């Protein structure tokens, strides 16, 4: 089942913060976050594994709540370069590397 991302779209001014959520109806083993610019390939941001681990990358961080089957991506003091569509990909505990991707959240950062 496809994970659900919220919000679907968000518009920010430079320097503002945003949170993107990814929720699944199935038990999760891992959550992968990607950012995609229009017409380009998705670029990997970070992986989170079950256990509530929080990771950070510059001013972008994420958390993973295994019990709630949910992950959140936090963008702090957003920059123009943060604009794009953010996808979460969820992995189960099966012995494949398959991911199921959410429908995406479009983020637009304005000057």
Query: For residues 86 and 84, what is the distance between their CA atoms, to the nearest angstrom?
Result: 6
* In the complex, minimum distance from the CB of residue 103 to other proteins, in angstroms, rounded to a whole number: 5
Q: By C-beta, is 2 or 54 nearer to other proteins?
A: 2
Q: By C-beta, is 54 or 93 nearer to other proteins?
A: 93
Q: Give the H or E element holding residue 6.
A: strand 4-6
Report residue 103 as tokens: 């429908």
* In the complex, minimum distance from the CB of residue 97 to other proteins, in angstroms, rounded to a whole number: 5
* In the complex, minimum distance from the CB of residue 92 to other proteins, in angstroms, rounded to a whole number: 7
**Sign of the C-alpha dihedral, residues 5, 7, 13, 19?**
negative
Give the residues lining the site for other proteins (CB under 8 A).
2, 29-30, 32, 34, 39-44, 47, 49, 87, 89, 91-104
Q: By C-beta, is 16 or 63 nearer to other proteins?
A: 63
Residue 29 has a CB neighbour count (10 Å cut-off) of 13
């Amino acid at each position: 089942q496809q994970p659900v991302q919220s919000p679907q779209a968000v518009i920010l001014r430079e320097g503002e913060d945003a949170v993107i959520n990814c929720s699944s109806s199935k038990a999760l083993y891992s959550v992968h976050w990607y950012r995609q610019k229009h017409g380009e390939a998705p670029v990997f941001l970070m992986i989170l594994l079950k256990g509530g681990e929080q990771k950070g990358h510059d001013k972008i961080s994420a958390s993973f709540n295994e019990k709630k089957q949910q992950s959140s991506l936090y963008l702090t003091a957003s920059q123009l370069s943060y604009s794009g569509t953010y996808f979460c990909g969820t992995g189960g505990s099966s012995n494949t590397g398959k991911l199921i991707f959410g429908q995406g959240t479009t983020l637009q950062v304005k000057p």
